[in-house]
Chain A
Amino acid sequence: MLEIHLILLFMIAAAIIAVEVRDMLSSVVAVGAVGIGLSLAFLVLKAPDLAIMQLVVEILSLIILVRATSHRDLPFSASGRWVFNTVSTISFILIFLVCAYISLLNLPVFGEPQLRELSKFYIDEARTLTGAENIVESIALRFRAYDSLGEATAIVVATIGVLAIARRVSIKGKADDER
C-alpha cells in the first residue's frame, strides 16, 4: 500500500501549509488540496461513492470559505503569552498521541478487518433483500433510511440557522448599517 502512504504524506504536508501560511486565501486553497487528497485516498481505498461525494462537498466548502476570506485579511500578530500557549498546546497534543497509540494497539491490523455479524449480514443479504447492486447505497437508503432522513433534517436545520444568522434586516425592521 505505497500509494495510500504517499497520499497521506501529501495531505499532511498540505495541512501543515494550510495551518502555517499567513495569507488567508493561500490557506483556503491548501485546505482544498487536503480535501482533494482525501478524495483520492477514498478512491484508492475502494470507496467510489465517498470519493464522488467528497469531491462535490470539497468544492462547495472551498467556495464558501473563499467567500468568507476575500478582502478580509488579518495582519499576523504574535503578542501575548507565546511560549506558554505553544508549550501547553504541544504537551496536550503529545498526551493525546500517547493515548491514541495505546488504543491503536487493540485495533485489528490494517488490511484485515474482522467482519462482524452486521457487516457480514449486509454483504450476504443486501442484494436479495433490496435488489440493489451497490451495498453502500442499499445500506444508506434502505437499511438505515432513518439515518438519511435525520441527515436531511439536520441539513434543513443548518440552512434555517444560516438564513437566520446571515439575513440583513434585523428584527426592528432597520437594516444593519455596519457594512
Chain B
Amino acid sequence: MSIYILCLILFSVGLYCVLRKRNLIKIIIGIGIMEYAANLFFILIGYRQEGRAPIYAHDQVINNMVDPLPQAVVLTSIVLGLALMLLLVAISIRIYEKYRTFDITKINRLKG
C-alpha cells in the first residue's frame, strides 16, 4: 500500500509542475514525470511477490510469474511517450523562435 502512495506522490510532483510552472520546458518535464508515474503504476499492479520475469525456463513454476499483460501495454506506452515528447519539444522550439521566450504568460500577442 505504501508503495502505491509513493507512486501517487511522484505523479503529484509532475502535476504540480504542469499546473504551477510558467516555463514551457518545465511543463514538458512535468508531463514526462506524470507519464513515468503512470507507467510505474501499471507495473506495480501486475507485480507478484517472489515472482519471476515472464520468460519461460526449465525450472519455472507457472503460478509464480508476474502478470505479463501490463508489461506488454506499457511497452507500447513508453515508445509513444517518446513521440509525444518529440512533438512537444518541436512545438515549443517553434514558439521560442516566434516569441523569443518560453514564458507562457508572455505568449499572448497576435503576430503574423
Binding site for B on A (CB under 8 A): 1, 4-5, 8-9, 11-12, 15-16, 18-19, 24, 27-28, 31, 34-35, 38, 41-42, 45-50, 53-54, 57, 60-61, 64-65, 67-69, 72, 74, 77, 80, 85-86, 89-90, 92-93, 96-97, 100-101, 104, 107-113, 115, 118-119, 122-124, 126-127, 133-136, 139-140, 144, 147-148, 151, 154-155, 158-159, 161-162, 165-166, 176, 178-179
Contacts and interface: CB of A to CB of B under 8 A. Distances in A.
Given A113-B66, A159-B86, 15 more contacts: A11-B10, A12-B10, A16-B13, A19-B21, A38-B36, A45-B66, A46-B53, A74-B101, A80-B105, A93-B12, A104-B8, A113-B67, A119-B46, A139-B72, A179-B97
Nearest to A162: B90
Interface of B: 1-10, 12-17, 19-23, 25-26, 28-30, 32-33, 36, 39-40, 43-49, 51-56, 62, 65-69, 71-72, 74-76, 78-87, 89-94, 96-98, 101-103, 105
A3 to B, nearest CB: 11
